[in-house]
Chains A and B, each alone.
Chain A
């Protein structure tokens, strides 16, 4: 069984401030971890993913995330928020066992103020 918890349904930051979106996971096997972004009235776009290897992964639009096995976390960060980052962000987990399904967190809405 696998699950994802995203802390905070809404996060507000000022433009230029650090963005930190929290994600904790539960998985009985080594996880694959993902962050997706959804802009209003659009589908989901992959930001970044962790499968194996380097635990710090870089994605599009200046985002990065670090896989911390000991903390079962995969937090998403960006050093400086931009107005265009306002969107909903979803953390998700699967595994490398065959056709493992993808389990999503409930999402975090990022609000960016000028």
Chain B
């Protein structure tokens, strides 16, 4: 079991560029989510999905899109990156009440 995997580990973007952060899990979990972590802010929920084809917004969804075409994958898209999106992004999948986190993607937007 690889658990939750995220790619890339680190990315630098210029303002206005687009990119997709990849997240995959091999535990057959229905529930997956994306968080961003900023200093002094804890983790804040961006989007989540309760199963293939079903997504919903979290606390800070603006500027991000998601889709869930398979149980395994839950990519996060930035359509037009802004410096305010500089952050560390964590993907998680959930079994029952417990969430399991990936190693994170560090994103720097210049």
Contacts and interface: CB of A to CB of B under 8 A. Distances in A.
A3 to B, nearest CB: 11
A46 interface: yes
Contacts of A106: 40-42
Contacts of B43: 44, 90, 104
B103 A43 contact: yes
Given A43-B102, A43-B103, A49-B97, A99 B42 contact: no
A94 B97 contact: yes
B101 interface: yes
Nearest to B9: A41
B108 to A, nearest CB: 15
Given A44-B90, A101-B45, A49 B104 contact: no
Contacts of B33: 101-102
B74 interface: no
Interface in A12-52: 32, 34, 36, 42-46, 49, 51
B78 interface: no
Interface in A72-113: 90, 94, 96, 99, 101-107
Contacts of B35: 104
Interface in A41-66: 42-46, 49, 51
B16 interface: no
A90 B43 CA distance: 9
B13 interface: no
Contacts of A105: 42
3 smallest A-B Cβ distances: which pairs?
A104-B42, A106-B42, A44-B101
18 contacts: A9-B40, A32-B97, A43-B90, A43-B102, A43-B103, A43-B104, A44-B90, A44-B101, A45-B101, A49-B98, A51-B97, A96-B97, A101-B58, A102-B33, A105-B42, A106-B40, A107-B40, A107-B42
